């Protein structure tokens, strides 16, 4: 399986994440990818290539133009305003306020375009986010051209980013761009399966009113964890999209027997629908020792999960999402890919 990876992810490395009222070294850090690359090499995934330049057209077509301009210019505007640190959202539109007018001031714009203030923007964030989505695009083209699978080793991750909001360590929704590119290249039915511990709110939101992209997500129950305000089982899509969104929220302490039963249900929905291609939002933060999550998957469970996904026999792009038990992120990620390849 070919792996697409860009070194430019390193351009995004905030010093600070707001966590428990303190600034801590971000959980989502560059070393995550070093652990993954090392394990890939060790397990003979040797076909690792850099993506070609990002193709802005499908990104601009799917996402909000004001949001993309904001991401591109936010750092310069922040510095021009005399702000001393990294970009952290302080003022967000809350209940009773209005979101129909976008502030001119950068501090206001940050709040407008952000949904979670743990996530900082720095000087290199935009370039890193573009390199991340470039890997997803290259993986999509590789599979659209006939490969049965590809792994986009994306960083920063993407599944929490909507068409016009960042947060949850995500800026551009790599999986959503990938799914849309499959539609544009002729696939009629595209499924996105999100196995990251957190609900893929961004992907859900982007496709919520569409019947051509089915979204299924396994995740921590929103009453107990981020993103808190979305991800319940009764969110099934709206309008034409009704019946094409499937959420499997699970409570703290969930282990593999329950998680894999939910995975089988999601897989059954995808198969019964007749998906032609699959995009997997591949987070490994369901792992038992993940520092910000509460499921109890063992490393071997990821192999089994990959095998179940592989049994669908669909052309598949994996997009890297979360996973923060850094020493184990590589093993767990490669286990999924190996299980998939062995199915």
Q: 160 catalytic, yes or no?
A: yes
Tokens encoding 103: 């502030």
Rounded Cα gap, residues 276 and 290, in angstroms: 33
As a whole number of angstroms, the distance between CA 3 and CA 325 comes to 22
Query: Site map for Zn ion, 279-318, x if CB under 5 A?
Result: ----x-x---------------------------------
Q: Which residues pair with 279 in a beta bridge?
A: 192, 317
- Pick what 290 binds: ligand SP5, Zn ion, none; C-beta below 5 to 8 Å, kind-dependent: none
* Residue 118 binding Zn ion, by CB under 5 A: no
CB of 119 to ligand SP5, least distance (A): 8
Is residue 117 close enough to count as binding ligand SP5 by CB under 6 A? Answer: no
CB distance 116 to 227 below 8 Å = yes
Q: Is 322 in the site for ligand SP5 (CB under 6 A)?
A: yes
Q: Which of these ranges, 64-72, 94-102, 129-137, 277-285, lies near Zn ion under the rule CB under 5 A?
A: 277-285
Q: Which of 305, 294, 206 is nearest to 250 (CA)?
A: 294
Longest dimension (CA), the chain: 55
Run of H or E including 246: strand 245-250
Of the residues 12, 159, 160, 219, only one is catalytic, namely: 160
Q: Which does 330 bind (CB under 5 to 8 A by kind): ligand SP5, Zn ion, none?
A: none
Q: Which of 70, 169, 208, 246 binds ligand SP5 (CB under 6 A)?
A: 169
Contact partner at residue 226 from ligand SP5, Zn ion, none, CB < 5 to 8 Å by partner kind: ligand SP5
Stretch that binds ligand SP5, among 1-9, 107-115, 166-174, 241-249 (CB under 6 A): 166-174
Closest CB 141 distance from Zn ion, rounded Å: 26
C-alpha angle 78/167/222, rounded to 5°?
150
B/e letters for 147-183, b = 16+ CB within 10 Å, e = fewer, are eebbbbbbbbbbbbbbebbbbbbbbbbbbbbbbbbbb
Q: Could you give the 3-state DSSP secondary structure of residue 281?
A: strand
Q: Name the helix (H) or strand (E) containing 3.
A: strand 2-4
Stretch that binds ligand SP5, among 38-46, 102-110, 167-175, 234-242 (CB under 6 A): 167-175
**Choice from 8, 86, 194, 196 touching ligand SP5 (CB under 6 A):** 196
Binding partner at 296 among Zn ion, ligand SP5, none, C-beta below 5 to 8 Å by kind? none
Contact flag: residue 231 with Zn ion (CB under 5 A):
no
Please state, in angstroms and as integers, the Cα–Cα distance from residue 222 to each residue in 26, 219, 232, 233, following that order: 22, 8, 7, 10
Which residues of this chain interact with Zn ion, rule CB under 5 A? 196-198, 283, 285, 322
Binding site for ligand SP5 (CB under 6 A): 19-20, 118, 157, 160, 168-170, 196, 198, 226, 283, 285, 291-292, 321-322
So which residues are the catalytic ones? Answer: 160
């Amino acid at each position: 399986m070919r792996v697409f990876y860009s070194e430019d992810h390193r351009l995004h490395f905030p010093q600070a994440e707001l966590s428990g009222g303190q600034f801590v070294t971000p959980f989502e850090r560059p070393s995550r990818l070093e652990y993954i690359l090392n394990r890939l090499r060790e397990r003979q995934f040797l076909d690792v290539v850099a993506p070609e330049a990002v193709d802005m057209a499908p990104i601009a077509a799917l996402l909000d133009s004001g949001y993309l301009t904001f991401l591109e210019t936010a750092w310069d505007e922040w510095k021009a305003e005399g702000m001393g640190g990294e970009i952290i959202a302080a003022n967000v539109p809350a209940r009773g306020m209005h979101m129909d007018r976008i502030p001119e001031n950068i501090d206001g714009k940050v709040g407008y375009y952000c949904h979670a203030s743990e996530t900082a923007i720095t000087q290199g964030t935009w370039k890193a986010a573009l390199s991340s989505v470039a890997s997803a695009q290259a993986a999509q083209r590789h599979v659209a051209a006939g490969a049965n699978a590809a792994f986009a080793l994306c960083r920063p991750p993407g599944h929490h980013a909507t068409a016009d909001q960042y947060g949850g360590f995500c800026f551009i929704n790599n999986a959503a761009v990938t799914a849309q590119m499959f539609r544009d290249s002729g696939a009629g039915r595209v499924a996105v399966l999100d196995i990251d511990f957190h609900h893929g709110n961004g992907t859900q939101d982007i496709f919520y009113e569409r019947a051509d992209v089915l979204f299924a997500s396994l995740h921590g129950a929103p009453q107990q964890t981020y993103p808190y305000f979305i991800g319940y089982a009764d969110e099934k899509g709206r309008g034409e999209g009704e019946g094409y969104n499937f959420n499997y929220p699970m409570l703290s302490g969930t282990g593999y027997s329950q998680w894999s039963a939910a995975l089988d249900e999601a897989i059954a929905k995808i198969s019964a629908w007749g998906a032609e291609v699959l995009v997997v939002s591949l987070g490994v933060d369901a792992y038992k020792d993940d520092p910000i999550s509460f499921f109890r998957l063992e490393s071997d469970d990821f192999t089994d999960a990959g095998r179940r996904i592989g049994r669908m026999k669909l052309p598949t792009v994996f997009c890297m999402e979360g996973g923060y038990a850094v020493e184990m992120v590589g093993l767990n990620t490669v286990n999924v890919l190996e299980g998939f390849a062995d199915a």
